[in-house]
Structure formats: C-alpha cells, structure tokens
Amino acid sequence: MSTTFRQGEAVKSVLDAIIPIGIAAIGGAFAVFGGYDDSPGGTLLGILLVLGAMAFGARRAWRTH
C-alpha cells in the first residue's frame, strides 16, 4: 500500500489550524490592551475577534469530519 503525499493538502491542513489561533491571539491582545487603555471599543473588538476565530475553527472542524 502506497501513501501519496500531497503538499497542497498538508499546507491547507496546517493553515486551517494556524489561522484561527492567530486571529484569537490578536483578539486577545486587543481585549487586554483595550482594558489597559479603558476603551470599551477595543475590548469589544477583541472579544468579537476571539469569538469569530472560535466559530471559524469550529466550522472548519465540522466540515472536515
């Protein structure tokens, strides 16, 4: 039995994992720094980015299985 390695699929799989993590990290930074600056808009934007990243990751996981 031969397993073929497809580079495109491997790259897509890695990006599917990295993109939501990166978006959540940026959102967490927005939320933290928005709290330091006492700006509700920055904190809200950070929370929305984290929730969006969670939804994006869940949707990708749901589609692959």
Other CB atoms within a 10 A radius of the CB of residue 57 amount to 17
pLDDT band at 3 (very low <50, low <70, confident <90, very high): low
Q: If DSSP codes are grouped into helix, strand and coil, which group holds residue 4?
A: coil
The pLDDT of residue 10 is 73
Instruction: Flag whether the pTM goes above 0.75.
Output: no
Decide: residue 16, CB within 10 A, 0-12 exposed, 13-18 middle, 19+ buried.
middle
Q: What does DSSP assign to residue 39?
A: -
